């Protein structure tokens, strides 16, 4: 097993892997970004290519490439190794077969993504009371997070700050905050901003949890009318600005519609 781990780590540059999920910027001997594990506006997340190690000075998250996949994807150690190309003998046979089947139908333009823990999420929701488009448990409000096929992949809770249950959020998955019967949706990366926009303006909002997911959801799924909402601190947004109309959310919460070809300042 130790040989397999060494091979996994040495066959993947941590910069390339983490760069698929956050936009890294070179800063001296390290790369920096806003941490994908907590909300922040000033980057405190660093990746050391020489040491193949990441560390966030804001929340304390740290580890190697395998640990990053575990934390970001909400999967266990074995699944993270599989995602990074470990030998299939490490995996239970049912999971191996399921992944082989999925890989044959997966869009090659999109990154591989897991289903998280739908059973755990569904079990948790069964203990809550459904109120409107959310569930209540004590003083917290919880929203089901589902993938594009409608399967619950985890749960997001709001009581001033987002709380994620069952280990993070998958690509092409989001919290659907329906406020009207139309099929028009704003796609907002930040959960709390999306929640406020949805409640205050009675607008349908799909919370994508990061701009990278926003790009994938808006670009590759056209069965609903989705307009991305971008903020001044959002990264990886240029492609969305090039390809579709979008909405700009300023520091005061004002929404302004933009056209194709316009950019963030």
In the chain, the domains with their CATH numbers are 2-105 (3.90.580.10), 118-258 (no CATH)
Which of 29-33, 53-57, 100-104, 202-206 shows the lowest mean pLDDT across its residues? 100-104
Question: Three-state secondary structure along 4-55?
Answer: HHHHHHHCCCHHHHHCCCCCCEEECCEEEECCCCCCCCCCCEEEECCCCEEE
Check pLDDT > 60 for residue 4. no
Pairing state of beta strands 225-231 and 255-258? unpaired
Q: What is the pLDDT of residue 1?
A: 40
Is residue 55 within 8 A of residue 62, CB to CB? The reply is yes
What is the signed CA dihedral for 91, 93, 99, 103, rounded to 10 degrees? Answer: 110
Q: What is the pLDDT of residue 2?
A: 40
- pTM for this one? 0.60
Q: What percent of the chain has pLDDT over 90?
A: 14
Distance CA 115, CA 158 (A): 22
For 219-236, the pLDDT digits (tens) are 776 556 888 999 877 766
| Residue 263 DSSP code | -
Q: What is the pLDDT of residue 229?
A: 92
Higher pLDDT, 159 or 90: 159
Q: What is the pLDDT of residue 188?
A: 92
Check pLDDT > 50 for residue 3. no
DSSP, collapsed to helix, strand or coil, labels residue 238 as helix
């Amino acid at each position: 097993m130790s040989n397999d781990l060494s091979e996994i780590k040495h066959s993947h540059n941590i910069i390339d892997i983490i760069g698929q999920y956050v936009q890294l910027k070179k800063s001296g001997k390290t790369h920096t970004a806003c941490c994908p594990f907590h909300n922040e506006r000033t980057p405190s997340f660093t990746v050391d290519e020489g040491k193949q190690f990441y560390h966030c000075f804001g929340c304390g998250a740290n580890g190697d490439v395998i640990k990053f996949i575990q934390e970001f994807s909400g999967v266990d150690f074995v699944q993270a190794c599989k995602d990074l190309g470990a030998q299939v003998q490490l995996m239970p046979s049912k999971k191996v077969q399921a992944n082989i089947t999925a890989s044959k139908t997966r869009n090659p333009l999109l990154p591989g993504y897991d289903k998280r823990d739908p059973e755990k999420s569904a079990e948790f929701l069964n203990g809550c009371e459904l109120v409107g488009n959310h569930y209540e448990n004590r003083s917290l409000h919880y929203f089901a997070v589902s993938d594009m096929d409608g399967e619950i992949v985890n749960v997001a809770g709001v009581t001033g700050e987002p709380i994620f249950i069952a280990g993070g959020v998958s690509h092409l998955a989001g919290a659907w905050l329906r406020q009207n019967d139309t099929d028009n949706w704003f796609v907002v990366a930040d959960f709390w901003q999306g929640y406020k926009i949805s409640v205050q303006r009675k607008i349908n909002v799909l919370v994508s949890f990061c701009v990278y997911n926003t790009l994938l959801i808006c670009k590759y799924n056209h069965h609903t009318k989705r307009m991305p909402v971008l903020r001044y601190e959002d990264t990886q947004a240029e492609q969305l600005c090039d390809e579709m109309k979008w909405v700009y959310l300023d520091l005061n919460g004002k929404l302004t519609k933009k056209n194709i070809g316009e950019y963030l300042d």
